[in-house]
Amino acid sequence: MTVRTKHMADHSPFDASDMDTPRSGLRRRLLQGMAALPAAALLPGTSWADGKPATAAIDKTGLAVTDDTVTVGILHSSTGTMALSETGSIEAEKLAISQINAAGGVLGRQIKYIQEDGASDWPTFAEKARKLLVNDKCATVFGCWTSASRKAVLPVFEQYNGLLYYPTFYEGLEQSKNVFYTGQEATQQIIAGLDWVNKVKGAKTFYLIGSDYIWPRTSMKIARKHIENHLPGCKVVGEDYFPLGHTQFNSVINKFRLKKPDVIYAAVVGGSNVAFYKQLKAAGIDLSKQTVLTISVTEDEVLGIGGENIAGAYSCMKYFQSLKNPNNEKFVAAFKEAYGPKSVIGDVTQAAYLGPFLWKMACEKAGSFDVDKVIAASPGLELKTAPEGYVKIDPNHHLWSRTRVGQAQLDGQFKVVWETPDLIKPDPFPKGYQ
C-alpha cells in the first residue's frame, strides 16, 4: 500500500479564477504522485514567517501532522461488487484533495492520503479503519458506501475518536459524534420521492425490491410506513430482497407481471443493478409505461447498466451531473479533465467531493486538526460552492440539501424533472418511522 501526496493546479471551488486555466498535462502528472506545490498564500492568524502555524499548536493529540503535511485516509471498495459504485467516490475525494493542495492546503499543510480497499467486505472495512486511525494516525477518513460498511467501522471510529466523512444517501436512524453524513438521510430522499410519485404519477400500489443488507431493508421499512400510513389509498403489493452480487431477477420480474404495481420501488445496489435492468428490458418491461423509481442508481451505476437498459426510469437523489449551475459546471469540467471525457459523476461521487472541503473549513475555523475541535467547529458551516448548490451542516452532523427526481436518458444522464423548492432540514430520527 502506497502513501501518495495529491497536488493539482486544479479548478478549486474556492478560487474561481483557476477555472479558466486548465492544465491537463500537469494535472495528469500530479495525479500520479508529483511533489507538492508551495502554499499559495498566507493563512489568516498564522505566526510563522512562511505563514504556517506551529505544529504543536494545531496538533495536540498525536495525529499524522508535520510542519509540511497532514495525512488523511481514503477507505472505499476498489474491488468486489461495490467497486462499480465506490470508484467515483475515490476519484472525487482525490480530486478535492488535489484542489485544496493547489490552493495552499489546510493550515499551511499539504494533504497526503493513505488509500485502503474495503474490498466490499464489512470486516475488512473495520480492519482497515483501525489501521488508518491507530497505525497511520490519520487526521480524518473519507470513506464507506454501504450502510453495512459504515456500521462495521462506526465502533472503531468511536473507540479511537476518529473522524469519518460518509458520502452515501442512507436510511437515517443514526447520529454519531464521530461521523459527518454528506449524503441524504431517509426523510430527505425516500419520503420526498414517494410523495412526488404519488402526486405526479398518481401511484397507489408499490412493489419494493432491494439488496439484502441494512440500508435497503431499513429504507424499505421506512418506505412501507410512509406508503401505508401517510399516502391515502396506497399499499405495498410485494417486497423482495436479494444478496449482494445477485444476478438472477427473472423470478421477481414474473411477480411484477402478476402484481402489476404502479411503481417498482428499487434499492438494488452495486453490480446487481446491471443484471436487474438488463433483465427488465429483456423481459419486455417498458420503462416508459412501467414506473420504476430507484433510490440507488446514479450515473456511476448507469455507466455499467447502459443508458439503453434504464432509459425512462426515475431516480431520487440530491444531485445529478446534468444540474445547470456555475458550481456544477466547473466541477464537471474539472472531473472530466482529471479522469477523462467519458467519466461520469453520480450523487455519492458529488457528496464524497464535499467531504474534504467541509473538513478543511472546520479545521481552519478551529485553528486545529484535533478531532474534538474540528467536530465542535463544524455545525453551521456553509458551503456555497457545492456542485449541488448551497449546503450547510446541521448540529446533527447531516447536511441541509434539496431533493431531486431525474429521469434516465439514453445517453446515461438524468433529466431533472422535479426538485424541492427549499433545502430540507435533515431529520435522522423521524417520529413514526422507527
> Are residue 287 and residue 334 in the same domain, yes or no?
no
If you average pLDDT over residues 289-312, what whole number do you get?
96
Q: What is the mean pLDDT of the chain?
A: 89
**What burial letters (b/e) apply to 282-319, b meaning 16+ CB within 10 Å?**
eeebebeebbbbbbbbbbbbbbebebebbbbbbbbbbb
64 and 99 in a single domain? The answer is: yes
Q: How far, in Å, CA of 174 to CA of 152, rounded?
A: 13
303 and 214 in a common domain: yes
Averaged pLDDT, 135-160 = 97
Q: What is the pLDDT of residues 338-385, one digit of tens each?
A: 999 999 999 999 999 999 999 999 999 999 999 999 999 999 999 999
Residue 49 domain-assigned (yes or no):
no
**Domain shared by 381 and 420, yes or no:** no
Both 156 and 195 in one domain: the answer is: no
Which domain, by its residues, includes 87? 59-183+323-401
DSSP string, 193-224: HHHHHHHHH---EEEEEEESSHHHHHHHHHHH
* Same domain flag for 411 and 287: yes
What pLDDT shows up at residue 25? Answer: 39
Can you tell me whether residue 293 is helix, strand or coil? strand
CATH of the domain at 414: 3.40.50.2300
254-295 residue pLDDT tens: 999 999 999 999 999 988 999 999 999 999 999 999 999 999
Query: Structurally, how many domains does the chain consist of?
Result: 2
For the beta carbon of residue 177, count every other beta carbon within 10 angstroms: 12
Asked if the structure places residue 380 within a domain, the reply is yes
Statement to judge: residues 64 and 205 lie in one domain? no
